[in-house]
Structure 1
Amino acid sequence: MSSSSFEGATPGFLVWRLSMKWRVAVDRAVAPLGLTHAQYALVASLYAMRRSGERPSQRRLADHTGLEPLYVSKLARTLESAGLLERTRDPRDPRAVQLALTDEGREVTRRAIGVVQGLLQQLLEPLGGLDSPRAREFTRDLTVLLDTSLDPFNDPETEQP
C-alpha cells in the first residue's frame, strides 16, 4: 500500500496498521530461531531486565510487556518446555513465579535482538534512521501516547447529565 492509500485514515487506524506490520515482520524474522513475536517480547524483556539486575515475576513481566498475566504464564510454560527459560517459586512470595533465561535462552535472545534491531533500522530509515532527531521525537511521541490512560467507559461525550 502506498501512503496515498492512507489519506484520511485516523491516527488509531494508522497505529493499528503499523503495529500489525511490525508484529508480522517480527514474527517472520524470529521464526527461524523458534520464536513468535509474543515470545520474543517476553525473552527480550527478560534479557533487558536481567541486565539491570532484576529477576522478575510473571506478574512484573506482564506489567512490563503489556501482555495479560495468563498469556505470559502460557508463553513462559512454552518457553520453559523449549529450554529457553526457567520458572521458579519466589522465596519471598510462594504465590509468585520468577522467570529467568537459561544459557540457551540468552543465546537465542541475543540473536533475536540482533535480527529485530535490523528490522527497526529498516522501519525507521524513512525518518533518518534509528539515531536521527525525527526517530527520537517519534519515540517520545509514542511514549507519551503509551503513558496516556484509556478508559472506554469514561467518554465525556457520551456521559449523561
Structure 2
Amino acid sequence: MNGPDSRLPGPDRSPGFLLWRVTLTWQRAMRAALAPHDLTHVQFVLLTSTWWLAKSGEPPTQRQLAEQAGTDTMMTSQVVRKLAERGLLAREDDPADARAKRLRLTEAGLAVVAKALTDVEAADAEFFARLGDRADGFVAALGELS
C-alpha cells in the first residue's frame, strides 16, 4: 500500500510525537500530585502564577494572569471564577481600570499553593531526574521553544 512520504523512519524519531508522549506521561504525574489538593493542573497553574505575579508588585489582572500562564482569556476567566467560588482567590476592582479585575490569593489559596507547589516540584524533580546533568540544557531548550 502506498502512503504518505515521511522524512523520518518512525515516530520514535519525531520530536513532535515524542513531545506528545512525554507530555501525556508528565500530565499523569501532575494529576497525581494535584489530586490530594483537589486541583486541576490549570487551576494550579493559575493560582501559582497569581502568587508569582503578586510577588513582583501589585496583584495581577486576569489579562496579566492569562499572559503569564499562556492560557486563553475566556478560559482563564472561567477558572478564576471557580477558584473564587472555592474561596482561593479574590477578584477585586482595579482602581485604574473599571473593566479590569485584580486577583489576590486568599489565606486559603495561599495555603493550597504552598502545599501543592511542594508536591508538584517533588513530582517534577522525580520525573526529570532521569535527565541527570542534562536537565539544565533541557530547560533551556524548552525556554527557547516556548
TM bucket normalised to smaller? 0.7 to 0.9
Counterpart AA for 2:145 = L
Gaps of 5+ in 2: 1-9
Residue in 2 that maps onto 1:115: 119
1:143, distance to aligned residue in structure 2 (A): 0.5
Residue in 2 that maps onto 1:32: 36
Is 1:42 the counterpart of 2:46? The answer is yes
Q: 1:66 aligns with which of 60, 63, 70?
A: 70
Q: 2:60 aligns with which of 56, 74, 79?
A: 56
Gaps of 5+ in 1: 147-161
1:6, distance to aligned residue in structure 2 (A): 5.8
Residue in 1 that maps onto 2:7: none
CA RMSD between the two structures: 1.5
1:33, distance to aligned residue in structure 2 (A): 0.9
- TM-score calculated relative to the size of structure 2: 0.88
Residue in 1 that maps onto 2:4: none
1:54, distance to aligned residue in structure 2 (A): 3.6
Residue in 1 that maps onto 2:12: 7
Residue in 2 that maps onto 1:78: 82
Q: 1:15 to 1:7 in 2, by over 3 A?
A: closer
User: Is contact 2:11–2:17 with CA below 8 Å preserved after alignment?
Assistant: no
Point out which structure has higher relative CO (alpha carbons under 8 A, 6+ apart): 2
Residue in 2 that maps onto 1:16: 20
- TM-score calculated relative to the size of structure 1: 0.80
The list of structure 1 runs, each at least 4 consecutive aligned residues, that deviate by more than 3 angstroms after superposition, is none
Of all paired residues, the percent bearing the same amino acid is 38
Q: Secondary structure at the match of 1:98?
A: strand
Higher helix share: 2
1:7, distance to aligned residue in structure 2 (A): 2.5
1:15, distance to aligned residue in structure 2 (A): 1.6
Q: Distance in 2 between matches of 1:100 and 1:35?
A: 18
